[in-house]
A = this chain, B = another copy of it.
Amino acid sequence: MRIAVDVMGGDHGPATVIDGVALALATSPKLSAVYLVGCREQITARLRSTGCKDARIQIVHASDVLTMEDKPVEALRKKKDSSILRAVDLVKSGNADAVVSCGNTGGLVAAATIRLRPLPGVDRPAIATVIPGPESEFVLLDSGASVECRPLHFLHFAIMGHVYARELLNKPHPRVAILSNGTESNKGNSLTQEASRLCRQADINFTGYVEGHGLFHNQVDVVVCDGFVGNIVLKTIESFANGLVGWLKTELAKNPKRMLGAMLARNALRTIRKRMDPEACGGASLLGLNGHVTKAHGSARERAIMNAIRFTAEAVRHQLQKAVQTEIARTNMKIAGDVGSSHAA
């Protein structure tokens, strides 16, 4: 297992990413190589200062960085030697099995789509993000790669989510639903209506629409939407959770009685926090491309980087993209067959 890591572009700088890689190497004997892609000088300095001498590390120099402020496509055209492109190219050339980056999301999606190209039969990639809930988790896709979608893209996202939940979430018959403004079949917009019709024809456990009320009550395993809606939903949840945690801390610190109460109840709060912890998984998958791509959170710290690498190795082991390709080919053929036979009728 060989993984290329773009060490630039994260909120906490390359040192944090490099230390995360060292953690992953220390705990994952099956990793045979990790490419650290970025400024050679900064990388060697960090490895020297932490005393990391793992022989599986290889440095690939890149002189440019795509910043969070860069407009992806434009910046990629100008910054030919950016770490994100160099890292993706290692997968394209077959030197690495997967790439991990905590840089600019739009940049990673653009670089990966341009260089690796979508899988045969797939038009648009999707970012699959796992969102934990009290009883169960669900995978939300697309959470930001493809902002404007057509019904066929939704069908493909549904298949990708089905494969993802089956392979990585240990759910043999995942419940797949389209996110909408109500569960009744007359709800939704023209896009979700037509997408529902397509999804009903696929060999997946498609349960129709799920509304916002159903997300955290274990009603669904895969939630399908376009990247505009998915990104808003994902960030709204994160914002609300963070706001609530901060607020709770402020309220609990207001007097000694509350502080004592918080101390006694801290394990309850810890259990919830641990399960909601975005660092526990560490990364979202970019699905539908010829190669494995993991987007780690921009604010990822060492542990999150380690988990993103371990999660990526797991996705590679399950040959996630190959499984997606097989299922999409089968679905496309079935839909085309259905269209053919209904034309003949």
User: Are B231's CB and A251's CB within 8 A?
Assistant: no
Contact of A182 with B by CB under 8 A: yes
Q: Mark A218-259, 1 if CB is under 8 A from B, else 0.
A: 000000000111011111111111111011101110100110
Residues of A in contact (CB 8 Å), total 61
| Given A181-B228, A189-B148: A236 and B236 interface contact (C-beta under 8 Å) | yes
Q: Determine the residue in chain B with the shortest Cβ distance to A247.
A: B134
Most buried by B among A184, A265, A269: A265
Query: Given B182, B188, B234, B240, which contacts A241 in the complex, CB threshold below 8 Å?
Result: B240
Per the 8 Å Cβ criterion, residues 93-119 of A in contact with B are none
User: Are B264's CB and A257's CB within 8 A?
Assistant: yes
Contact of A217 with B by CB under 8 A: yes
A interface SS class: helix
**Stoichiometry, copies per complex:** 2
Smallest Cβ distance from A232 to chain B, in angstroms?
Answer: 5
User: Are A239's CB and B217's CB within 8 A?
Assistant: yes
Contact of A342 with B by CB under 8 A: no
Most buried by B among A214, A216, A242, A252: A216
Which residue numbers of A lie inside 8 Å of B, CB to CB? 69, 71, 133-134, 144, 147-148, 179-182, 184, 186, 188-190, 211-217, 227-229, 231-244, 246-248, 250-252, 254, 257-258, 260-269, 271-272
8 new A-B contacts at CB < 8 Å, known A144-B181, A215-B239, A254-B268? A133-B243, A211-B231, A212-B235, A213-B239, A244-B244, A248-B272, A252-B265, A258-B264
